[in-house]
Structure 1
Amino acid sequence: MSILLIGDIHGCYKELRSLLIQVAFNPLKDTLWITGDLVGRGPNSVEVLRYIKSLGHSVRMVLGNHDLHLLAIYKGIKDNDPKYNINQLLIAPDVDILINWLRCQPMLQIDNKYKIVMTHAGISPQWNIEIAQMCANEIEAILSSNNYQLLLNNMYNNKSNNWSNNLTYLDRLRFAINALTHMRYCFPNGQLDMICKDVPEKTPAPLKPWFSLPNKVLDNQYAIIFGHWASLAGTKTPSLIYALDTGCCWGGNLTLLRWEDKQYFTQPCF
């Protein structure tokens, strides 16, 4: 049995299947962990969703910002910009089934046996693992409910960038979505910067990558697995931090980490 952790797929279905052949993925024995952003940018988002859904309990995934954005487009809250490359998905005969499956997926995965924590973008330095779980559960509860449009209507707010136990319900949800699906840089106090997307070498002070700040999750010796940040490819991360997005949809690679021996496998963009 293998734990196979894979970075952002972004509709790169052929690369996904080729990469899984490399590692002889067996859904009857292995578990495939996915850092989110199944859809968007790449050419085959609908095939990716159908395939991942078909794997059932062999998959442990989290939602990314592109997955949430798809939900907003589907509900007419956001325009369908051609750059997202999801027209094929939106007109698919099973789109309703796929959307309802997608919105019931987790925001956070924690495995206490293997000491793994996975989110799309990372874990806020202002959180401990209990707060992260609480916030993820709140998002999951409303996304999987009949009121999920309330969240989609209110989730776009870059000003929700500083954690407090006194945040209102919607502000708490917005901060959690920003931290779990958009975060890259933080100020020294852990407040999120929602603007900078440069590589760390080009980032002005005082901003630091979120994983460069002290993190209570790491204090408990959990590894943090994340995607979202394709330009990090090749950038060294601290111990117990694993960045798996290597920009397949941008012409880079799709990357997989086999957990038991920490071996990486890559599939270049076709």
Structure 2
Amino acid sequence: MTDYAIGDIQGCYERLREVLAKVDFSPSRDRLWVAGDLINRGPSSLQSLRYIESLGTSAVVVLGNHDLHLLAVARGGHALKNKDTLSDILDAPDHEHLLNWLCHQNLMVHDPARNFVMVHAGLPHIWGVDQAMGYAGEVEAAIRGPGAEEYFAGMYGNQPAGWNDGLQGMDRLRVITNYFTRMRFIAEDGTLEFAAKESAEDAPEGFGPWFRFQRPDDVRVVFGHWAALEGETESERYIGLDTGCVWGGKLTMMNLDTGEKIHCDCS
């Protein structure tokens, strides 16, 4: 069995199948770890979601901001945005099955044997792995529980901008969600900055890329979300897999055992 991790697919189904074909991927033998944003902005969101769901236990998935956006539209009463390509999912006869499956995916997964975690946006330096897993579990429980509509209705927003242990209710869930699915730049005290989306070298004053801050452990982090990085973090410990397929870049997949990266051109 070979485990592969892949960056933001965002509805680019044909490119997904192309990169999987390069390694002769077989769900009966291999596993695909998906770093969030399976859907949206690309041409084939429904096909992409159906395919990943069809892999069953051969897919390990974390939720990205676009995946949560679909659920916020479907469950929380939010409207589609002009650039969304989600209508095919919402109109599909199996949409309830697909949405329910999406709700049962995680915000963070941890593989102790390989000493790595996979998240969509990143792992803030202010949390240890066990802490982060616990906080991720709080949001996962909200998404799957009887208060899911309330969570999705109140999910959006930039406040609170940082973590403190006394946060409760929707404020607590929102900031946890933002760390895992929207984070790029962060301050030493854990304050998030949401406006900047450029490269790591373009950090606003007082902030830096989340992966430049010292952590209390040596865990490796596999993540997506930040296409402007083009996969470059200048560290073997932080493995960026969003290389901007939906924007005409590449779709990147990595062999989790050997570190080999496999690409297909999306231009």
Question: What TM-score range do you get, normalising by the shorter chain?
Answer: over 0.9
Matched, 1:52 2:24: no
Letter in 2 for 1:269: C
* Deviation of the 1:205 alpha carbon: 2.4
Describe the SS at the equivalent of 2:99. Answer: helix
Which one of 230, 253, 267 corresponds to residue 256 of structure 1? 253
Aligned equivalent of 1:78: 78
Letter in 1 for 2:126: Q
1:165-184 aligned within 5 A: 165-184=165-184
Aligned equivalent of 1:114: 114
Aligned equivalent of 1:213: 213
Gaps of 5+ in 2: none
Describe the SS at the equivalent of 1:83. Answer: coil
Letter in 2 for 1:66: H
* Deviation of the 1:76 alpha carbon: 5.5
Letter in 1 for 2:199: V
Q: Map Cα deviations across residues 26-70 of structure 1 (whole Å, 9 max, x no partner).
A: 211211100000110001010011111110000111000000000
Describe the SS at the equivalent of 2:177. Answer: helix
1:1-270 aligned within 5 A: 1-75=1-75, 77-216=77-216, 219=217, 221-233=218-230, 235-269=232-266
Describe the SS at the equivalent of 2:117. Answer: strand
Describe the SS at the equivalent of 1:139. Answer: helix
In 2, Cα distance between equivalents of 1:69 and 1:152: 9
TM-score when normalising by structure 2: 0.96
Gaps of 5+ in 1: none
* Deviation of the 1:212 alpha carbon: 0.3
* Deviation of the 1:106 alpha carbon: 0.7
In 2, Cα distance between equivalents of 1:44 and 1:104: 22
* Deviation of the 1:137 alpha carbon: 0.6
* Contact 1:7/1:226, CA 8 A, preserved across alignment: yes
Q: Map Cα deviations across residues 72-111 of structure 1 (whole Å, 9 max, x no partner).
A: 1113622112301112111111111111111111111101
* Contact 1:161/1:194, CA 8 A, preserved across alignment: no
What is the percentage of aligned positions where both structures have the same residue? 40
- How many pairs are equivalent? 267
